[in-house]
Structure 1
Amino acid sequence: SELPSATEDATGSRKQMTWSRYGQLLTLTDCSGYQTRYEYNRFGQVTALHREEGLSQYRAYDERGRLVSQQDAAGHETRYEYSVAGDLTAVIHPDGSKQTISYDAAGHPVSTTEGGLTRQMEYDAAGRVTRLVNENGAGTTFTYDLLDRLVQETGFDGRTQRYHYSPTGQLIRSEDENLITLWHYDASDRLAYRTVNDEEAERWQYNERGWLTGVSHLCDGHRVTVQYEYDKQGRMNCERQTVQHPGTGELLWQHATRHDYPEGLATRTPPDNLPPVEWLTYGSGYIAGLKLGDVPLVDFTRDRLHRETQRTSGAYEQNTLYSATGQLLSHTFSDPVLNREYGYNDNGQLVHIRGVHQEEDYRYDGAGRLISARHNDL
């Protein structure tokens, strides 16, 4: 087989794969020996995905190969319906709520309805969206030139924005009410600087390889610049911030942060006049700890999905718990007064946060939009 059985990166992190005789990925074993397994139907579509921590996801398809349902690791099912033409016409969420989509004769979606609220779209003869009406009945209109470029947009709030382009297609002028922005480019078509109402806003600089080496702007007349340096592999190894005198250009302040790449990972950062900050990693870069010089600052513990489950720093401790679908369920701390619990509805929306001395509740409308947030002190 021409398919790889293992890959190894510059850090020595190794992943192993097994394949079916049809070239389908069956298992992927990561650097820690944790495995993800895949199952397929006879048409080669993924029907199941099994991850560590006993988490599995399932998918089902109709006779035309269209996805008709998917079930997450918590057993919540989302179903899909289609028209005879194959267009997605409905999505039924785990809580039973339904989103419906309508199309015009050309196959463009013209309306989406959910929870009794409808969003509408209109198109021109070229199939471009010319008007969008949101669930509140407010509209946004779009105008294009002959090359399909957006030249004007009038938003829900009535504000109009206009865009102008060069003969080669570059944005050279944008207008937003009373703000006029001009965009300027160098000989290599890279953005060089921009002005807002005839005053310079930002300036960009590049090296001979085209890599960004500096971004600057004026603040109270002072030139404030962030400069970047790179190694031969194109990795940024230094970031320097400077402030210059508005009249003489004299350097008034600077601070540099350097980056080292032992074994290919950016895990060591020596700031100016400070001990180096070192990130301790494993595998493909998962963070296991942080040191300042020789002093350990933070240690991280992770589960079999490499998610952070515990963070310790001296006497401080933070524990994190997740749901079967990966949502944050709780934070517990060495100081219990900081503890938090999080709750969700069947659609995965956050509905409450509970603490020792306070609680917050959230409500959503039928379209999934946040409509209220309530805070109570206990």
Structure 2
Amino acid sequence: MRNENDEVTRFRYDALGQLVEQQDFDGRTTHYAYDEAGQLVGLREGDVETGFVRDPLGRLARRNIRAPGTGTHSEQFYYDARGRLVTAQSESSRVQLHYDEAGNLIAEEQHQHPTTGTEYVTVTRHEYDALGNRTRTILPSTRTVDWLRYGSGHVHGVLVDGQPLVDFERDRLHRETGRTHRAFSQQREYDPAGRLARFAVRPASAASPHERIAQRRLQYGPAGHLTRIEDRTRGVTDYTYDPVGRLLKAVTPDLTEIFAFDPAGNPVDPEKMTPPPVVETPQEKAERFAREAAEDAAWLRAHPDEQYPPLRHNRRGSEDAKKLYEWKQSLPKCIGNVLAELNRVRYDYLHEPGSSVPLARLDETLVEAAHLATGTDGRFVQMPATTRHATLFYQNDHLGTPQELVDESGKVVWLARYKAWGGWKDTWKEKPDPAEVTNALRFQGQYYDEETGLHYNRHRYYDPQTGRFISKDPIGLAGGINVYQYAPNPVQWIDPLGLTCTSAAKALQQLKGMSVARIEKTLAKDSFTLTKDNGKNANWNHADGSEVRIHRYGNQNPSGYKSGNNAHVHKQDPCNNQLSDRGIVTEDGDEKHIGIRNPGDLPTVRGRPHGDGS
């Protein structure tokens, strides 16, 4: 496979058609091994070997990871009689999952075994209604969160410890149009395509109807790209894109950012000509890595007070950044130090149901630890710990990125100042006053690490300064050809898990074989809006620019595609790419026409029989 930079990934298969070797664009080679049943049992990447042990049903029972100098790390997995995962454990932790008879997860136990030898256990419990909707969560701190739902299953209110937290208002398509708290209210308006057009937060005690805590207006271009945000606090931000939807420029009142990319989507210096392709043999690459490792070691010897060697910036902007955070396995140590400092304050994050969009943060601060005191009779009395509670509310942008934190009085206590790719405007590290409120949540699914400046993105670390991940995609090419890329642009795409950037169309469940009525119900549930319907064809649009087109009776004129002659749908992402039913960009005509169930009157309407393939 050859990419746009004329770099090649090579695949080698055995006689059974099983992939046994893959050499990536960067020259790194992965070897695969299989058992007699064709199941993957081992892979080797450089000096790191991973072995997979499976039970008689083919399920993963053990994973062993062996690397030079670190020994073997082992993980075990256990299942119940219904095939559900019930326990996952390693040397340092164990997770146990409990289900009810309907298969709903009702409890999750996490057992941590830190180096001190003391086990730390947390338990989270859940309750559900008859339809399987989660209605209550009991947090490890014993605080309770109740989700109030109406007939369709959508949430209309949230309670914390039995007290109202926030109420939601929705339109007939179940889109959120308002959010109410005793100290403030939030309003949302959508354009005809179903995209967020206006967002406002107003204090409950406003002296004027025009008074706002926050306000944003959004404008979109002909191609569906977000082109402008008018923010009451931050001013105007204008966005410019190239023909394939990559962000070229972001202009704010205090900063202009210009971006450029090579043909494969890797960022390059916009002030310089795109460098010619650099072709290295695997031997040359190994020699370069060895040379740079020696240089790094020499630099550290000359700078004994430094923990890391300086970053190098290469053409791809990825491998060298990755080297920094693999250095002597220092990253886990850094994260552990940060967690130790935060132990006196507990943050519980509430998210909007079924998403990574933050809703509120429940803060619990230890004011006084549990202790013994002398009673009036001279005996010792056990005094419980004293804690202070506070609730902060997230005000997010159209993608779910926090923009403001509002306290229970309606006051803004934290304000975001992002660059286009998620970096902090003032400095590469956010260094707030210790007395001020801080927020570690960034793009959806990302958690800011103060000591490294990176964003923890579940499966990988994201570097907001380069707009890329620092390691390859764990799912390989299934996440896209560019395995370090975060997204084509950060204005309309998200990647909450660090696996593959997601749009609403890409995240849709597979629609093949469904009836039109069921598809319409699915689209409405996933916040798509019906924008056009002439009885034969219908368009459904999402706020992120995704579109689904339903052709109830197939194409008017017969074609060579059987799926085109019969009822079908098209999925399209915000960059106008056509998707297969699995959400993968495709130019294949059969894959672009996703066949669905024909209406009974198709022969009458089109004059051709069901299943016609002519």
Residues 122-151 of structure 1: CA deviation (Å, up to 9, x unaligned)? 111111111122358451222222223221
Match of 2:81 in 1: 63
Cα distance, 1:97 vs. partner?
4.3
Q: 1:193 aligns with which of 216, 228, 232?
A: 228
Residues 82-141 of structure 1: CA deviation (Å, up to 9, x unaligned)? 111111112223245432211111111111113432111111111111112235845122
2:32 is aligned with 1:17? yes
| Count of aligned pairs | 297
Q: 2:302 aligns with which of 296, 314, 319?
A: 314
What is the alpha-carbon distance in structure 2 between the residues aligned to residue 264 and residue 134 of structure 1? Answer: 59
Residues 53-72 of structure 1: CA deviation (Å, up to 9, x unaligned)? 31101111110011111112
TM-score by length of 2: 0.42
| Paired residues for 1:1-378 under 5 Å | 1-30=16-45, 32-52=46-66, 53-74=71-92, 76-94=93-111, 95-113=120-138, 114-135=140-161, 137-155=163-181, 158-177=183-202, 178=212, 179-197=214-232, 201-219=236-254, 224-239=255-270, 256=271, 263=278, 289=292, 296=295, 298-299=296-297, 312=300, 314-316=302-304, 330=333, 350=339, 352=340, 362=344, 371-372=365-366
5+ unaligned residues in a row in structure 1: which ranges? 240-255, 266-279, 301-310, 321-325, 332-340, 344-348, 354-359
What is the alpha-carbon distance in structure 1 between the residues aligned to residue 73 and residue 244 of structure 2? Answer: 46
CA RMSD of superposed structures (Å): 4.1
SS in 2 for 1:312: helix
Percent identity between the aligned chains? 18
Output the amino acid matched with 2:190.
Answer: Y
SS in 1 for 2:27: coil
Cα distance, 1:15 vs. partner?
0.6
Specify whether residues 217 and 96 from structure 1 end up closer, same or farther in structure 2 by C-alpha distance, changes over 3 A only.
Answer: closer
SS in 1 for 2:249: strand
TM-score by length of 1: 0.66
Cα distance, 1:259 vs. partner?
7.5
Q: Contact (CA 8 Å) 1:116, 1:366: kept in 2 or not?
A: no
What is the alpha-carbon distance in structure 1 between the residues aligned to residue 58 and residue 85 of structure 2? Answer: 13
Specify whether residues 362 and 198 from structure 1 end up closer, same or farther in structure 2 by C-alpha distance, changes over 3 A only.
Answer: closer
What is the alpha-carbon distance in structure 1 between the residues aligned to residue 144 and residue 291 of structure 2? Answer: 47
Cα distance, 1:232 vs. partner?
2.9
What is the alpha-carbon distance in structure 2 between the residues aligned to residue 366 and residue 227 of structure 1? Answer: 37
Q: Contact (CA 8 Å) 2:146, 2:162: kept in 1 or not?
A: no
Specify whether residues 9 and 133 from structure 1 end up closer, same or farther in structure 2 by C-alpha distance, changes over 3 A only.
Answer: same
Q: Contact (CA 8 Å) 1:281, 1:289: kept in 2 or not?
A: no
SS in 1 for 2:259: strand
Output the amino acid matched with 1:66.
Answer: R
What is the alpha-carbon distance in structure 2 between the residues aligned to residue 137 and residue 318 of structure 1? Answer: 50
Specify whether residues 209 and 107 from structure 1 end up closer, same or farther in structure 2 by C-alpha distance, changes over 3 A only.
Answer: closer
Output the amino acid matched with 2:221.
Answer: D
Q: Contact (CA 8 Å) 2:27, 2:285: kept in 1 or not?
A: no
What is the alpha-carbon distance in structure 1 between the residues aligned to residue 279 and residue 191 of structure 2? Answer: 42
What is the alpha-carbon distance in structure 2 between the residues aligned to residue 86 and residue 141 of structure 1? Answer: 29
SS in 2 for 1:316: coil
Cα distance, 1:44 vs. partner?
2.2
Q: Contact (CA 8 Å) 1:200, 1:218: kept in 2 or not?
A: yes
Specify whether residues 72 and 158 from structure 1 end up closer, same or farther in structure 2 by C-alpha distance, changes over 3 A only.
Answer: farther
Match of 2:115 in 1: none
What is the alpha-carbon distance in structure 2 between the residues aligned to residue 135 and residue 262 of structure 1? Answer: 60
Output the amino acid matched with 2:48.
Answer: Y
Cα distance, 1:33 vs. partner?
2.7
Residues 26-70 of structure 1: CA deviation (Å, up to 9, x unaligned)? 11100x232011111222221111112311011111100111111
SS in 2 for 1:54: strand
Q: Contact (CA 8 Å) 2:262, 2:274: kept in 1 or not?
A: no
What is the alpha-carbon distance in structure 1 between the residues aligned to residue 38 and residue 367 of structure 2? Answer: 50
SS in 1 for 2:253: strand
What is the alpha-carbon distance in structure 1 between the residues aligned to residue 44 and residue 275 of structure 2? Answer: 29
